[in-house]
């Protein structure tokens, strides 16, 4: 069986969709569902067991002989989280516990890191997993620090010859968009946030730029379609000899206005844009550019073509956002 934590979340639920389509499994979903609509993210999946996160250690021990691999996407993903003790408990120590179980039982381990580990830099996004390089990163918030700290622990153990899983892969996701992100509220992608407004013919709102060398709406990010992220996860499943920490992005920064243009193409309609003031609390720490260095991924043989922003947004709109049932 394959264990997926954060299974009902954005990326986790798309991983389950890919695994099911490929005939992998049985699939075990580990998550908290609470009282919202997050369950719809995996409402179409064939799940062999549902496990509450803090019951997972006992489940792992009971089923150790049957577990093929563990894909750990579960974590606090809000960059606004301020409870550092909670981040240490759920993002760092829980991940370390799973690493140690996988090392003991020799089970491959894939986990979610984040581009937030890079902090406020606007260049030098190389996924160097040497402990000294990881230690030099300077995240902007406690969430990014929790992911950096986890990467540090694993990289130091691997470099120092400590017990480790037969395969361990950390994935630094950049700006991911796509189906099943609807439960994320303010953490949804810009494409998802402005779709309904655009589809109803109303002007969409983007932040103004506060740099003279960058026009309004020309702030750039590496926007990556979730279906490409999950293809990368599946690639590592098929290449169990490859370990390390890897960026997950397109390697090409695009502007927020490019998202609007991509929506225009997908909807075949004009979309007006209004530029609004950025909150004062955000301005001083706002990043105007991110772009994944994908050379390390290429060097290990990941050579499939990622969706362009235009093709990714088109699939998102036509296959999900514009449909009565938006869920994958």
Structure-token pair, residue 230: 């999950």
Q: How many C-beta atoms surround the C-beta of residue 197 within 10 A? A: 15
Question: Which residues are the active-site residues?
Answer: 143, 184
Q: How many C-beta atoms surround the C-beta of residue 298 within 10 A? A: 11
Contact (Cβ atoms closer than 8 angstroms) between residue 242 and residue 302: no
The secondary structure element, H or E, covering residue 94 is helix 94-105
Look at the alpha carbons of 83, 89, 91, 92 in this order and tell me if their dihedral is positive or negative: positive
314 by Cβ neighbours in 10 Å (0-12 / 13-18 / 19+) ranks as: middle
The secondary structure element, H or E, covering residue 261 is helix 256-267
- Which residue reads 């049932």 in tokens? 325
Question: Which residue, 244, 237, 213, 127, is CA-closest to 174?
Answer: 127
- The Cα–Cα gap between 286 and 143 comes to 16
Angle in degrees, 0-180, between the axes of helices 94-105 and 142-160, rounded to the nearest 10: 20
Structure-token pair, residue 232: 């990368």
Structure-token pair, residue 321: 């956002």
C-alpha distance across the termini of the chain, in Å? 22
């Amino acid at each position: 069986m394959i264990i997926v934590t954060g299974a009902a979340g954005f990326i986790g639920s798309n991983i389950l969709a890919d695994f099911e389509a490929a005939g992998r499994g049985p699939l075990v979903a580990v998550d908290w569902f609470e009282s919202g609509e997050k369950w719809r993210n995996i409402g179409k999946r064939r799940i062999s067991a549902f496990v509450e996160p803090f019951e997972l250690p006992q489940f792992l021990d009971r089923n150790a002989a049957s577990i093929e691999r563990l894909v750990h996407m579960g974590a606090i993903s809000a960059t606004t989280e301020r409870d550092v003790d909670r981040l240490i408990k759920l993002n760092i120590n829980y991940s370390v516990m799973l690493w140690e179980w996988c090392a003991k039982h020799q089970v491959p381990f894939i986990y979610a890191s984040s581009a937030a580990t890079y902090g406020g830099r606007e260049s030098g996004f190389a996924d160097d997993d040497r402990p000294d390089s990881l230690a030099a990163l300077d995240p902007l918030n406690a969430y990014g620090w929790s992911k950096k700290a986890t990467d540090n622990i694993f990289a130091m153990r691997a470099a120092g010859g400590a017990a480790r899983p037969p395969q361990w892969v950390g994935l630094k996701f950049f700006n991911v968009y796509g189906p099943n992100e609807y439960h994320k509220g303010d953490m949804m992608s810009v494409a998802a946030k402005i779709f309904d407004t655009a589809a109803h013919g109303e002007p969409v709102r983007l932040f103004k730029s506060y740099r003279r060398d960058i026009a309004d709406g020309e702030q750039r990010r590496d926007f990556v379609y979730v279906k490409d992220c999950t293809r990368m996860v599946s690639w590592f499943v098929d290449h169990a000899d490859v370990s390390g920490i890897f960026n997950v992005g397109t390697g090409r920064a695009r502007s927020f206005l490019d998202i609007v243009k991509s929506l225009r193409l997908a909807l075949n309609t004009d979309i007006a844009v209004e530029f609004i003031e950025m909150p004062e609390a955000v301005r001083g720490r706002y990043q105007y550019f991110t772009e994944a260095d994908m050379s390390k991924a290429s060097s290990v043989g990941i050579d499939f073509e990622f969706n362009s922003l235009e093709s990714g947004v088109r699939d998102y709109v036509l296959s999900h956002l514009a449909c009565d049932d938006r869920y994958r």
